[in-house]
A and B are shown apart, each in its own frame.
Chain A
């Protein structure tokens, strides 16, 4: 397409420049019933999976229909969301912190037709555009990252793994039959953008090979001290190398000390480490962020490696399903996955989920590793 100016003048970039205006204020977009009852809600109920009602002191009611969102979406899709909001909700809608979409209305008569309309909308391939659910004790949307769509450090894909997992867990999205809510998150490298370190089940991209070093370019493209300081195990040190008679500054990686975190590549483009068979997925379990009953927990590594099997990641989804089924069958009401695992003991968790315990799962990172070992005779055979 030919260039169409927005009015910006590249010759005078600072002229008529508007900055530091921040986001629009949230209350500009409140539905009238929310604005009126703000701070004066009495109670709420989950009417059915995906549908909530909040009742205000004034007696006003607001109905919320929560639908799954794929997070990575086109403008066409957003326009369709707007069209639905115009039709049933006077043009108002919101997105949740797990990237679901919520349509809100104070008209009870709108709820049923809106529900039928939402469920009737499908993509040409057959998947629901707006599946209703994500409330209560079920599996809601997966918080995830960029993956192969946009990032340069991933060890796996985000949108692909998430779609494969949500397809397997779809029944738990549209239902509320688990002991407690179960949060699944995904990050495509151990930068852990998002919530993998504090989720009931976490999918994490992982490398298994040390970085390759582009000696010829490293001193030109990288600030070498930053690459050295980026390493958590001090496996990188500065060195000199001779290429075509010229002495060049570079780094050397002590491979037996490298644990393939990829931090050096983040700081230095001349140290790439992605590898098609080396890379894969680590599964973690048992994290939570709420303070309900006990304190927040980190998730723990339970599966050391699952290969990348795009496009559907069958081993990974089967393992996740197995963990959720064991949890669903065995845990008490209100018990999060991590609370269940700690109550029955992690040795029982591995037994019930039919997971293999390997030496990779034993912490060996610095002094705090010691506290993760068992210093008691209390254990089960």
Chain B
């Protein structure tokens, strides 16, 4: 595993840049992901997605389906892509510190 040092913190990441452990997430991680995911500035809408994802994962042990994410946040998929150009999986889940999406992706 590769380690990244950013803003005084050290993170272990896999080859796709996902964090090694949900519990190692911290606000500095958000700032680091911002630099690699083509996000200019983290605003309240970005934070809302991250909060929803982290709450859902903590409660259910899985990332929400895209439709659940849309319904809970009130953001249409198009808007989620505007916030996170790489999309809800590669962008938002990465910033929220969730495990990498699996399956035939």
A residues adjacent to B (C-beta < 8 A): 13-14, 191, 220-226, 266-269
Contact = CB atoms under 8 A, between A and B. Distances in A.
A269 B38 contact: no
B20 to A, nearest CB: 6
Interface stretch (B3-11, B42-50, B59-67, B68-76): B59-67
Nearest to A220: B21
Contacts of A223: 57, 61-63, 98-99, 102
A223 B62 CA distance: 5
A346 to B, nearest CB: 33
A266 B99 contact: no
Which of A14, A223, A268, A269 is most buried by chain B, counting CB atoms within 10 A of its CB? A223
B85 A13 contact: yes
Given A14-B38, A224-B61, 12 more contacts: A13-B38, A14-B85, A220-B20, A220-B22, A220-B99, A221-B99, A222-B99, A223-B102, A225-B61, A266-B102, A266-B103, A266-B104
A356 to B, nearest CB: 34
18 contacts: A14-B85, A191-B104, A220-B22, A220-B99, A221-B100, A222-B99, A222-B102, A223-B62, A223-B63, A223-B99, A224-B62, A225-B60, A225-B62, A226-B102, A266-B102, A266-B104, A267-B103, A268-B102
A196 to B, nearest CB: 16
Contacts of A222: 99, 102
Nearest to A11: B38
A236 to B, nearest CB: 14
A267 B104 CA distance: 9
Contacts of A13: 38, 85
A243 to B, nearest CB: 14
Nearest to A12: B38
B79 to A, nearest CB: 14
A254 B52 CA distance: 34
Nearest to B37: A13
Nearest to B82: A14
Contacts of B22: 220
Contacts of A224: 61-62
A13 B100 CA distance: 22
5 closest Cβ pairs, A-B complex: A13-B38, A223-B62, A220-B21, A267-B102, A225-B62
Contacts of B102: 222-223, 226, 266-269
A223 B22 CA distance: 11
B63 to A, nearest CB: 6
Contacts of A269: 102
A278 B60 CA distance: 35
A13 B21 CA distance: 28
A225 B62 CA distance: 7
A226 B62 contact: yes
Nearest to B98: A223
A268 B102 CA distance: 7
Most buried by A among B22, B63, B99, B104: B99
A12 to B, nearest CB: 8
Contacts of B60: 225
A266 B38 CA distance: 29
Nearest to A14: B85
Interface in B75-105: 85, 98-100, 102-104
A13 B22 CA distance: 27
A14 B39 CA distance: 10
Contacts of B99: 220-223
A50 to B, nearest CB: 35
Nearest to A267: B102
Nearest to A193: B104
Nearest to A268: B102
Contacts of B104: 191, 266
Contacts of B63: 223
A14 B62 CA distance: 30
Nearest to B62: A223
A20 to B, nearest CB: 11
A237 to B, nearest CB: 13
Nearest to A227: B102
Nearest to B38: A13
A11 to B, nearest CB: 9
B70 to A, nearest CB: 19
Contacts of B100: 221
A293 to B, nearest CB: 35
Contacts of A267: 102-103
